[in-house]
Structure 1
Amino acid sequence: MGTGKRALVATAVTVVCAVTVLAAPATAFAAPDPGPSSGPSASPTPAPGKDLQEVRARLDALYHDAAVATDAYNAAEEASKEQSSMIVALAQRIVDGREQLARLKDRAGAAARAQYRSGGLPDEAKLILSEDPSQFLDGAGRVLQGQKATKGLLAQLATVQADLEQYADDAAAQWQKLEAGRQAKAAAQKRIEQQIAAAKKLEAELAQEEKERLAELERQAAQQAQTKWLDENTGVVGDTATGASAQGAKAVTFALAQRGKPYEWGAEGPGSYDCSGLTSQAWAGAGTPIPRTSQEQWRQLKHVDIKDMRPGDLIVYYADASHIAMYIGDGQMVHAPRPGRSVTVAGAGSMPILGVVRPDA
């Protein structure tokens, strides 16, 4: 194996190793619980209700920022996988092209040497000296064919050389994109970790009674939002709701089977999930691959009206599409909520809905 080939193969191996490192599981993230709402005032002890409402609003903001950063991290990770695969493919093309170039050069050299050996006398002299003019003419025809073949070899050489240069340029461009993606992932990961750490610190400062009261405030806010949503969308629940497709039913079964598994930003199972990791894996298990991130699921999948929603459809939350869940019917959804929580069933209207998408439309 030549030096150039060894270098390119080593590059391909290095890329594969890099992909393995980049794809190593981190921790995943979903979106926050609903924003502040007007719930009952908190008891005077251990803290005024207004203070706990402010804590809840702050926690929601921190987890929401982490959700946005998680989508950015997941998008960068998907792009880096694609770019790394392209680099490996380009490296193999370069290896194959160099081998083809070497073979063509050998053939061209052999043809040139053959022409040199037979080209010592002019054609007129060869004809005069030849004992068999027909044999000379046959030989001359073969020489012409050889010259034509040599020109074809030279054209092939030029084409292969140009392809190799293009492959090298493409590989360099993909390396630049890969590096930019690595930096984007690193920045997103740092942002995620900062926001989650700040949220955990805020929660750690609460007394146990305050934590219990905070959880009650969250439950009340979610219940109020769900009740309001059901009042506004009476046709979604009950006999008018459309049944799931065969694939949708499989996706729902998969998602529900993950209940109790922890939320982890960047995770796609099987032991933990983030919000879009759960929905993408559920639909992959149903035989319909969909984009990895909640924002891309919202952007690329078919939008359907809430009144036409059926089990298996995906509900996208918040104006920036930073959270996503799967509708399971009867006004309920299953989702991976946020760090510190597990995959669970909740009211479909317990968070602000941006819209609904259908993977198997």
Structure 2
Amino acid sequence: MHVRAGFLVATLVVALCPPVHAEPGPRDVARARQAVRDRAKELGTASAELAEAQGRLDRLAAEAERLVEAYNGEVVRLRQAEQAHREAAARQGAATTEVERARQAVAMLAAQSYGGLPLPAEYLGMLNDHGDHDGYLHRAGLLRQLGGERGLLLTRLRDAEEVAEILTTHAASVHAAQQYAAEAAERAKIAAREAVARQRRETKELRARRDELQRLVDAARTRAELLARRRQTRIGHVPLSSGSSMGDVAANWALTQLGKPYLWAADGPASYDCSGLTMRAWERAGVRLDHWTGTQWTSGPHVPLDQLRRGDLLFFGYDKNDPSTIHHVGMYVAPGLMVHAPQTGDVVRIASMWRGDLVGATRPR
């Protein structure tokens, strides 16, 4: 490849800068024109190979990001399941306490009915027979012996036991849901880790190939063309805004994180993934977001791209018409520009927002 690139450069120099000699004849002109056509053909082939390599890199990054965001979503759902389990366990504990209070009241009443004497062991067994239908009939017969008005205590005990049983079943169900969420989060974590590792391996090879092709393409261009291409792809400094809106606060803070490395599932302060960066930026503006593109997409009204303001979130997906395919998020900071945490091996940086997979924008609130 290096020999080919060297040949290409040498031939291009000869073609563009032929040695000075007498007026060229028709054959010289024909040869020069043919050389230009040959170089243009080689340049077209190299450019196509470069585009293919870059496309492969983009697909690898998008797939890794999709799995990272899937993991972030599972973590959000796990936290919700853990909270639901804590609440269910608290309700179950309160119901169990109420059952015990009701049972003690019934036992005390029975003892009083026997003149303050200890309740016979067989009666205590009847009262403490949890949830058993026959035990309930025994208790009912016992309390009929103790008096009809005081049968209300048995009703209280029975109702408390039924509530406790229902809440115990519910708590078990919520616990199972929590376990499932934990397992799903672990599976998503493993899938994300494997995708990032695969991306790193293949990216290293593809970047080497891409860089080689880029050198070939650059060698085939005139200096003026090369400088023009570099000017088009170079993104200048985006100054901090003096505005005080929440979007300005979020955007200004995000710009202070430039150069920090991308790390999947990270949310600062030393490194970030895409949704971790935007979450922390809007946190500085007083708006709480989940660490997940799935809910960040629905965190506020969707904004037309011709009405963007600093701080608006820009979302990217496999299908421009299907938000469920979103795998990346950045933050609008200036006309045509965003700040984002791109992918493994990269850093927080400013980039053009105009990508083919741009789905839409959201203004958090």
Give the structure 1 partner of residue 178 of structure 2.
174
Note the alpha carbon deviations across 1:89-108, whole angstroms, 9 max, x for none: 33344344334433332222
Read off the aligned partner of 1:53 and give its amino acid letter: A
Note the alpha carbon deviations across 1:165-222, whole angstroms, 9 max, x for none: 322233223323432343333334323332333223433x5497657679999x9599
* Residues 222, 90 of structure 1: alpha-carbon distance in 2 compared, 3 angstrom cutoff: farther
Contact 1:315-1:327 at 8 Å conserved across structures: yes
The structure whose RCO (Cα within 8 Å, separation 6+) is larger is 1
Q: CA deviation at 1:343?
A: 0.7
- Paired with 1:258 and 1:43, the residues of 2 have a C-alpha distance of 41
- Paired with 1:163 and 1:206, the residues of 2 have a C-alpha distance of 62
Read off the aligned partner of 1:154 and give its amino acid letter: R
Give the structure 2 partner of residue 128 of structure 1.
none
* Residues 78, 41 of structure 1: alpha-carbon distance in 2 compared, 3 angstrom cutoff: farther
TM-score (norm 1): 0.65
Question: How is 1:344-355 mapped onto 2 (pairs within 5 angstroms)?
Answer: 344-349=349-354, 352-355=357-360
Contact 2:76-2:290 at 8 Å conserved across structures: no
* Residues 212, 256 of structure 1: alpha-carbon distance in 2 compared, 3 angstrom cutoff: farther
Q: CA deviation at 1:309?
A: 0.8
Indicate whether 1:89 and 2:109 are aligned.
no
Question: How is 1:185-200 mapped onto 2 (pairs within 5 angstroms)?
Answer: 185-200=189-204
* Residues 191, 43 of structure 1: alpha-carbon distance in 2 compared, 3 angstrom cutoff: same
Give the structure 2 partner of residue 73 of structure 1.
71
* Residues 87, 283 of structure 1: alpha-carbon distance in 2 compared, 3 angstrom cutoff: same
SS in 1 for 2:333: strand
- Paired with 1:349 and 1:93, the residues of 2 have a C-alpha distance of 52
Note the alpha carbon deviations across 1:241-285, whole angstroms, 9 max, x for none: xx9662111111221111111111111111111111111111122
Question: How is 1:174-323 mapped onto 2 (pairs within 5 angstroms)?
Answer: 174-203=178-207, 205-206=208-209, 220=229, 223=232, 246-318=245-317, 319=319, 320-323=325-328
SS in 1 for 2:326: coil
Give the structure 1 partner of residue 49 of structure 2.
51
Give the structure 1 partner of residue 134 of structure 2.
none
Read off the aligned partner of 1:288 and give its amino acid letter: V
- Paired with 2:189 and 2:40, the residues of 1 have a C-alpha distance of 42
SS in 2 for 1:322: strand
Aligned length: 279
Which protein has the larger Cα radius of gyration, Structure 1 or Structure 2?
Answer: 2
- Paired with 1:222 and 1:80, the residues of 2 have a C-alpha distance of 47
SS in 2 for 1:340: coil
Contact 2:200-2:344 at 8 Å conserved across structures: yes
SS in 1 for 2:77: helix
Contact 1:284-1:290 at 8 Å conserved across structures: yes
CA RMSD after TM alignment: 3.7
* Residues 330, 166 of structure 1: alpha-carbon distance in 2 compared, 3 angstrom cutoff: closer
SS in 1 for 2:73: helix
Q: CA deviation at 1:62?
A: 1.1
Q: Percent identity?
A: 29
- Paired with 1:280 and 1:215, the residues of 2 have a C-alpha distance of 39
TM-score (norm 2): 0.65
Indicate whether 1:332 and 2:330 are aligned.
no
